[in-house]
């Protein structure tokens, strides 16, 4: 997990973008996500599909289709997102020697367990709160009506 952070970080960013801009109710298009994140849509599709297969996102078809959260932000742990992003197993360790086997590989496993526990304790709701605390404002999804 530690050495392959780019795919996991992108998956967290995509899920957070959907939570921030659409939440549980509104669909967010892949094109809009790609534009906001300055990414190619084609490169994001495998991650979007993996997140949908894992139940983190729901895929909606049709002219107003896109993606929305599969569960409440409080119920989506960052560990769930990372697990979906890294569906394929890590390649086996290619290191040999006494130092690698006795010190470095066990240390790496220990550090990954610590990082994994932290990701398991954080939710998308926690990240949405951090976004609000940093001054970001979520877009209003529906027009405010003052009619009585």
Alpha carbon distance 61, 67 (integer Å): 9
Relative to beta strand 57-60, strand 66-69 is antiparallel
Reference 19, options 105, 108, 141, 148; nearest CA is 141
- Report pTM: 0.82
Domains and CATH numbers, the chain: 5-91+123-133 (1.10.10.10)
The answer to whether 5 and 45 are in contact (CB under 8 A) is: no
Q: What is the pLDDT along the chain (148 residues), one digit of tens a residue?
A: 444 568 889 999 999 999 999 977 889 999 999 999 999 989 899 999 999 999 999 999 988 889 999 999 999 999 999 999 987 555 566 777 899 889 988 998 899 899 999 999 999 999 999 999 999 998 865 444 455 6
């Amino acid at each position: 997990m530690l050495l392959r952070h780019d795919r996991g970080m992108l998956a967290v960013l995509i899920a957070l973008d959907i939570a921030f801009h659409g939440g549980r109710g509104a669909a967010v298009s892949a094109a809009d996500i790609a534009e906001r994140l300055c990414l190619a849509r084609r490169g994001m599709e495998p991650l979007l599909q993996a997140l949908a297969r894992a139940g983190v996102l729901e895929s909606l078809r049709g002219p107003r289709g896109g993606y929305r959260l599969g569960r409440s932000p409080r119920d989506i742990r960052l560990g769930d997102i990372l697990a979906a992003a890294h569906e394929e197993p890590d390649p086996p360790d290619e290191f040999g020697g006494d130092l690698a086997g006795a010190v470095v590989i066990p240390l790496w496993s220990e550090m990954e367990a610590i990082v994994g526990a932290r990701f398991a304790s954080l939710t998308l709701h926690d990240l949405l709160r951090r976004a609000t605390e940093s001054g970001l404002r979520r877009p209003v999804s529906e027009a405010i009506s003052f009619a009585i």
